[in-house]
Amino acid sequence: MYGLKLDWMETPEAPYYTLEDYTGPEARWCPGCGDFAVLTAAQRLCRDEQLAPEKTVFVSGIGCSSRFPHYMKTYGFHGLHGRALPVACGIRARRPDLNIFVATGDGDCCSIGSAHWIHAVRYNMRMVVMMFDNNVYGLTKNQTSPTSPEGLRTYTHPRGAPIEGMDPLQVSLAVRGVSFIAQTVDFNPQHLLATLTAAYHHPGFAFVRILQRCPHYTPRAFAPLQENPSMMSLLVHPDGIDGGESMTRLFPNRIEHDPSDLRGARVIAEAEQGIPVGLLYKNDSVPRYDHASASGLSATREDRVKLLEQQLDWFRI
């Protein structure tokens, strides 16, 4: 306009979000709980990706880890037991613009929420699912969970869990529509952050199982892995998760694995030896239910009324 540039015409600079912009009240987990490491990783991810807090939502069910949304200074939804995923799918169905993260535990996801979990994998709606697996029900004080290993002594099985626990990787990889499955550990912050970052960039349902320490009830569940990292196998590939140079030292055992190989991923998940750490499977071209549910979202009010009247006309006698 005549070469004039007035102050009120300038576009405001986009804000730079710091870690404080994502940090909520002090987390109330037991000292040494692995949930703290995941919370830090999630806050770093939000900062690194500069996710607008008002466009980001953390959804959870019930459990220790499901307190997660309270500790993020973003939007959050602390739901019912096992219902984190249907809530997150509902949000995604109407809000393609939001960054959606789900915090769920082994009890929440693999027991009461198992049907929702399987269908959420199948729907492949875009979101990051952080499945905190500490092999036990922690919040309700030490009951056998679906992933508790055989022999684990809990209050529900004081003589030890009588059967072997389920493997969430194997279950997820068996579902048609699976598009992103990774495993990481809370005691390796670099790999944890790299995994969540890869999950965030995945255009679909990214399921991350996090082996999570619970020093209160299952203190020995993952201690052997920390003491002897050769019990784990780092999955390496140019299309995999790049945790940086230090991964070589931290994970002496490595397996070359192409994450586009679904059969190979299933074989790795079923192997008796070597707990896999890294990206098991990734497929960007799996159809997404949220693409279907987004149809019509941009319709005007008039369009919607017109369509509704057309539908009602079907019932005219």
List of residues contacting Mg ion (CB under 5 A): 105-107, 134
Q: Quick one: which of 134, 135, 184, 195 contacts ligand SF4 (CB under 6 A)?
A: 134
Q: Quick one: which of 35, 106, 108, 186 contacts ligand SF4 (CB under 6 A)?
A: 35
Round to whole Å and give the CA distance between 78 and 62: 7
Instruction: Find the shortest distance in angstroms from Cβ 217 to ligand SF4.
Output: 5
Write the single-letter amino acid at 259.
P
Q: Quick one: which of 215, 242, 262, 266 contacts ligand SF4 (CB under 6 A)?
A: 215
Taking phi over 0 as left and psi of -120 to 50 as alpha, with beta for the rest, 296 belongs to left
Q: Does residue 138 bind ligand SF4 (CB under 6 A)?
A: yes
Q: Please say which residue, 106 or 290, places its beta carbon nearer to Mg ion.
A: 106
Instruction: Find the shortest distance in angstroms from Cβ 252 to Mg ion.
Output: 29
Q: Does residue 223 bind ligand SF4 (CB under 6 A)?
A: no
Q: Does residue 33 bind ligand SF4 (CB under 6 A)?
A: yes
Q: Quick one: which of 216, 237, 254, 266 contacts ligand SF4 (CB under 6 A)?
A: 216
Per DSSP, helices labelled H in the chain are 35-49, 84-94, 106-107, 114-123, 168-173, 189-201, 223-227, 246-250, 262-270, 289-293, 301-313
Whether the CA torsion 21, 24, 26, 28 is positive or negative: it is: negative
Q: What is the DSSP letter of 230?
A: G
Contacts of range 142-145, beta carbons closer than 8 Å, 24 or more positions apart: 142/217, 143/107, 145/105, 145/106, 145/107, 145/110, 145/111
Number of residues that bind ligand SF4 (CB under 6 A): 11
Reading the block at residue 133, the tokens are 């697996």
- Single out the segment in contact with ligand SF4 by CB under 6 A; choices: 25-33, 48-56, 151-159, 178-186: 25-33
- Single out the segment in contact with ligand SF4 by CB under 6 A; choices: 30-38, 43-51, 72-80, 244-252: 30-38
39-68 mask for ligand SF4 (x: CB under 6 A)?
A: -------------------------x----
Q: Does residue 149 bind ligand SF4 (CB under 6 A)?
A: no
Specify the pairing of strand 136-137 against strand 143-144. Answer: antiparallel
Residue 22 contacts which entry, Mg ion, ligand SF4, none (Cβ below 5-8 A, type-dependent): none
Residue 106 contacts which entry, Mg ion, ligand SF4, none (Cβ below 5-8 A, type-dependent): Mg ion
Q: Does residue 214 bind ligand SF4 (CB under 6 A)?
A: yes
Helices 84-94, 114-123: crossing angle, 10 deg rounding = 30
State the first-to-last Cα distance of the chain, in angstroms, to the nearest integer. Answer: 61
Q: Does residue 29 bind ligand SF4 (CB under 6 A)?
A: yes
Q: Which residues of 13-35 are buried (b: 16+ CB within 10 A; e: fewer)?
A: eeeebeeebbbbeebebeeebbb
- Cβ–Cβ under 8 Å, residues 183 and 208: yes
Q: Please say which residue, 36 or 75, places its beta carbon nearer to ligand SF4.
A: 36
Q: Quick one: which of 101, 123, 187, 217 contacts ligand SF4 (CB under 6 A)?
A: 217
Instruction: Find the shortest distance in angstroms from Cβ 69 to ligand SF4.
Output: 15
Instruction: Find the shortest distance in angstroms from Cβ 134 to ligand SF4.
Output: 5
Residues that bind ligand SF4 (CB under 6 A): 29-30, 33, 35, 64, 134, 138, 214-217
